[in-house]
Structure 1
Amino acid sequence: MVNFISLSDLHSKIPFPAIRVKIIKKWSTKIGRDHHSVMLLGDANGVTIQGSLNYALSLPKEIELKEDDWVEILNFDIRYVFELHRTTKHKYTIKFNELSLFRKIQPVNGSNFLCCANFRSIKRGLYHPMYCVDLCGALVRAGDLIATKLAQPANIYNSILYSLEFSLINLGFVLFI
């Protein structure tokens, strides 16, 4: 019998972790020299965590991980997050390995996991800049994509940070820049 745990109870000392989560969002990225499929995962309690699957690992042909799918995941690595910018406030991230097992399940709930930030609080600087926030509104203006090379003298793989300025109108149709 498998005991599934909540993402809020997840920590690195669990020998054989098992979770039930929804794949909220997926994207591809390069971590070091390897390409990864990165996923934002959420459980029935609304807790979110980031997970990554190296492209070198292959899933069984009958398993295709798509956004909005609910899955049971067993046997994965749990690592502490050291990145400067995070997709979630969770202090751990999930790294899937060759022993990880995925099984699609029926949806546990219909949540979209959006927790929209307050426009005024953002403008006043009340959100920590290290964490991503959800914004809902109508896009009024989008500026140019700005690439900034991060100077890291000890690292030969200097990374590039991209930023974009934009304006939104919230549901009350008040412009915030």
Structure 2
Amino acid sequence: MFVQAYHFLSESGMSNMHGKKHLCFIKWKFLEAKAAAYYYHGLILDKGTEPACHVTAVCCFLAADGLLSESKKACFTFCLTAPVTRSPPLWGAMKHLTQKIPEVAARKSQMYGYLLEEEKALQALPDLPDFQLSLAPDDYILPEIDSAWDRSKWEIQSQPLKEHLEDSEDEAETE
């Protein structure tokens, strides 16, 4: 989806001022999403019992850490692209992951560093699994229009302003 949006914006004319900023935003969020994907893929692989699983998991954690660093640079580029904006505060899942990814990457690379050096062939960045979307939109049929929305049946109660003011004065006097 990020690739489609980036491709579409790249092909459309960048005549407006915000086009380049949109591209920077998409790149920044793409890198964040990819860092999260490698982190969670590494957690799944780390559950394995074979040494190769741990090595691949460490590669995923290190890739997530590198992508997180790149996403911070992309955020900085986004903020400096015209119109210049402040850096947004971290929130949600990325607030948690910006703390967790570097910790886990450092800890796991220390734990399995010896395996990483033994199996240098597996140090290449593993491919992320390609999952089908688990959610698909259901077809939705709009309900019939309620009769209350039919303008031809609306009756507008008109009351001259003078009568309305007299009625409100009478109500105020009785109180």
Normalization by structure 2: what TM-score?
0.21
Larger Rg: 2
Which has a greater percent of helix? 2
Larger strand share, 1 or 2: 1
Tell me the TM-score normalized by structure 1.
0.21
